[in-house]
Amino acid sequence: MTGADPDPRVGVVVVAAGSGTRLGAAQPKALVRVGGRRILEHAVCGALAVRFVRQVVVVAPAAYVAELSADVPGWEGSPAPSPRPLHPAGVPDPPAPVLGEPGGRVRVVPGGAERTDSVRAGLAALGPDIDIVLIHDAARCLTPTSVYDRVIAAVAAGHEAVVPGLAVVDTMKVVDAEGTVIATPERSRVRAIQTPQGFSRAAITSAHASGLAATDDAGLAEENGRPVRVVDGDPLAFKVTTPDDLERAERLLRTPTLWVIGGLPGTGKTTLSRRLAAFEDATLVRVDSIEQALTTDLDLEHPGTTGYAIAYAVAADQLRLGRSVVADLVNPLPQTRVALRQIAEQAGAGICEIRLVCSDATEHRRRIEGRLADIPGYVLPDWRDVTERLFVAWPEARVIDTAGRTPEQVFRVLRDGP
């Protein structure tokens, strides 16, 4: 290809014939469900959402071809959801796949014994009008459309082989068969390669016809003497390989949630909020930090409700971006609780209201009197402040008693129930 093609005709081969042994599932990995749909469904719908894609060929385990070709229940209607940060408001959902017909937009064909055999089967099933081929691992099911767009643009501009890649943050070592280091490549020149990998049809057909072997299609192109161009990948194009990867994908596909962690000082709100924010990969909004900044940096002796107002604005912004939020605040009054519910509703997010209590007064007092401030300049309340503080009943909240429980036990109660 020479020059930029203004209207490239793109076909995507989705490789889904692997067993997924490391995932520990009783079925092929691509058929495991995440976010309510199969991994394969997410991958196919992601490909169909890309401009210029005319055809998708799914290379599936032979035993599942008939089932998938018959239009698997759950593929009908609306397409598989993608992580909310990738689909801002106003962007139309991609169309649902149409399966089963050889001339349709999606075909399912059986894979081979090796990955190379499977890709070759997918290439053979592409229509004659396709001139750019993308080869994509179904396991990278959350790959943003922007990655596809960069790969397609580079191939359309004349690069015969293109791969997305991420800069590595760790020092890399090359070792021999005994595990001895034989080289340390310069980190700035190393990339972790992802998919989809893009090729001119002539280049990838020639590479697969050569009889050479490689661990991926770009490597096959290299072995065939083709230069390979690297464009920016994306962290969301990670490969679902282990149970931890599956859990990460599950979290990314959830509707964002506003977690409201309230209760009197000394009940464990901040400890739980930090643990929950790390587990959910959520934004932590702590009113104590905001109020202390108002006091010290803006010289506001009595911030009043200003700290809560700032917390509301930050939480609303994060929820609209698709990020879950953990709000760490006393939340003693109905009006603040109503405001938080309105924020979640307006952002299209879920809300989970949690009130922590410590039913053992002796333990609660010991916590209050033994605490050290973790915010510079912040004056902690004493036991009298806590016992005299107004706290209006909060019937909507789930109550968790932290007395006699370690922070990890409290987190498990929140996560798994009593």
What does the pLDDT look like over 308-350, one tens digit per residue?
A: 999 999 999 999 988 899 999 999 999 999 999 999 999 989 9
User: How many angstroms separate the CA atoms of 196 and 47, rounded?
Assistant: 9
Strand arrangement of the beta sheet that strand 283-286 belongs to:
283-286, 325-328, 257-262, 350-357, 398-401
Mean pLDDT of all residues belonging to the chain: 86
For residue 281, what pLDDT is reported? Answer: 85
54-68, 97-111, 201-215, 397-411: least confidently modelled range? 97-111
> What percent of the chain has pLDDT above 70?
86
Contact 84, 256 (CB under 8 A): yes
Q: How confident is the model over 173-194, as a mean pLDDT?
A: 93
**Backbone phi and psi for residue 175, each to the nearest 5 degrees, phi listed first:** -120, 160
At 67-76, the pLDDT tens digits run: 787 644 334 3
Give whole-number Cα distances, 171 to 23, 174, 184, 212, 235, in Å: 27, 10, 8, 31, 18
Q: Give the model's confidence band at 396: pLDDT under 50 very low, under 70 low, under 90 confident, else very high.
A: very high
Rounded to whole angstroms, the Cα distance separating 105 from 53 reads 9
d(CA 252, CA 351): 17
Q: What is the mean pLDDT of residues 19-29?
A: 73
Residue 179 has pLDDT above 50, yes or no: yes
Please answer whether residues 269 and 356 qualify as being in contact, where contact means their C-beta atoms are separated by less than 8 angstroms.
yes
**What's the pLDDT band for 139 if we cut at 50, 70, 90?**
very high
State how beta strands 132-137 and 197-200 pair: antiparallel
Q: What is the mean pLDDT of residues 206-225?
A: 88
174 within 8 A of 182, measured Cβ to Cβ: yes
Spell 172-198 as b/e; 16+ CB within 10 A means b: eeeeeeeeeeeeeeeeeeebebbbbbb
Burial 57-86 (b: 16+ CB within 10 A, else e): bbbbbeebbeebbebbeebeeebbbbbbeb
Structure tokens at 145: 């459309």
